[in-house]
Amino acid sequence: MRNRNKPWADDFLKENNHILAEEPFSNKGNWQQSFSKKQPLHLEIGAGKGQFIAGMAEKFPEVNFLGIERVKTVMVGAVKKVKTAEVENVVLVNEDAKDLRDMFGTDEIDHIYLNFSDPWPKKKHHKRRLTHETFLEQYRDVLKSDGRITLKTDNRSLFEYSLSSFSKFGMTLEDVTLDLHELEDESNVMTEYEQKFSAKGQPIYRCEVINRI
Ligand code: SAM
């Protein structure tokens, strides 16, 4: 994702701080207080420009959505999408998701989405993949037992790596599909990357994992 220099990004995010968690680490264990209703909490890591989280929030008003995106200039796009959707069940966090246990209490999250995560193709960078064991350890702790992880990607190598990583870690693979759009699943909300890759005819891989060891 491109990171153009946008000096107005800080001002824009400040003006829209009702959509953003400005001190996310102080919300640990109390995220429900950031929403108008107490309801299941779903987290997207690497929310990009927000098409997925805004679409999910519209489709599932009975869920609270949190989106983490580490690139500020990309987060601006997500804030715009959430504003346009006029939804109240989304909070965005401009942070790196590397220390989730400092941001979330044990069992605080019901569902994690990893959408088109950076593939980090070089072997020496695999530890940066969001499905590396060090991340799975964090997901295991912050997710409720029987909570879910949904991963979507166009990248076969990342997908195979992730299946193996979930499986080695002992999490339960509930569902695996090698061509998501063939299923015509009406509950699927497309991300920006998903739209781009599927328009080129690339298959989209998806797996559903349960936090049950
Ligand atoms: N999920 C979006 C989609 O499917 O269209 C964006 C996909 S883009 C390839 C990956 C995004 O994840 C980028 O915006 C990147 O900045 C963000 N990202 C990657 N690692 C992250 C991390 N550790 N914490 C927060 N954001 C991260």
Q: Find out whether 105 and 26 touch, Cβ atoms under 8 Å.
A: no
- Assess whether pLDDT exceeds 50 at residue 194: yes
State the pLDDT at residue 2: 46
Among 116, 152, 188, the mutation site with the greatest number of ligand 1 atoms within 8 A of its Cβ is 116
From 10, 11, 118, 146, active-site residue: 118
pLDDT tier, 1 (very low <50, low <70, confident <90, very high otherwise): very low
Considering only CA atoms, which of 34, 112, 36, 127 is closest in space to residue 68? Answer: 112
For residues 209 and 170, the answer to whether their CB atoms sit within 8 Å is no
Does 213 score more than 70 pLDDT?
A: no
d(CA 134, CA 131): 8
Give distance in angstroms: CA of 14 to centre of ligand 1.
Answer: 21
Which pTM value belongs to this model? Answer: 0.96
Give the pair of three-digit tokens for residue 38.
């107490």
Which residue owns the Cα nearest ligand 1 atom 12? 46
What is residue 130's predicted lDDT score, i.e. its pLDDT?
A: 98
- 3-state helix, strand, coil split of the chain in percent (to 5) is 40, 20, 40
Q: Which atom of ligand 1 is nearest to the CA of 98?
A: 23
Ligand 1 close to Cβ of residue 118 (< 6 A): yes
pLDDT, residue 96, reads 97
Which residue do the tokens 């044990």 mark?
106
Q: Does any ligand 1 atom lie closer than 6 A to the CB of residue 70?
A: yes
pLDDT of residue 41: 98
pLDDT tens track for 85-128: 999 999 999 999 999 999 999 999 999 999 999 999 999 999 99
Is any atom of ligand 1 closer than 6 Å to the C-beta of 73?
Answer: no
pLDDT score for 55? 98
Instruction: Spell out the residues 6+ positions from residue 130 whose beta carbon is closer than 8 angstroms to its own.
Output: 45, 46, 97, 114, 117, 118
Q: Is 175 a catalytic residue?
A: no
Mean pLDDT of 181-198: 95
Q: Rounded to whole angstroms, how far apart are CA atoms 204 and 179?
A: 5
Lowest mean per-residue pLDDT among 95-104, 133-142, 204-213: 204-213
**Backbone phi, psi, residue 97, to 5°:** -85, 35
Given a cut of 50, whether residue 7 has pLDDT beyond it is yes
98 Cβ closer than 6 Å to some ligand 1 atom: yes
Q: Classify residue 55 as exposed, middle or buried by CB count within 10 Å of its CB (0-12, 13-18, 19+).
A: middle
Nearest residue to 175 via CA among 210, 137, 130, 133: 210
Query: Is 137 part of any known ligand binding site?
Result: no
**pLDDT bucket at 4, cuts 50 / 70 / 90:** low
pLDDT at 129 over 90: yes
- pLDDT of amino acid 6: 73
Q: Is 86 annotated as a binding residue?
A: no
d(CA 164, CA 59): 31
Tell me what pLDDT residue 212 has: 80
Q: What is the mean pLDDT of residues 82-86?
A: 96
Cα angle 19, 24, 29 (rounded to 5 degrees) comes to 110
Q: Can you give the length of the chain in residues? A: 213
Pocket flag, ligand 1, residue 192 (CB < 6 Å): yes
Domains and CATH numbers, the chain: 9-210 (3.40.50.150)
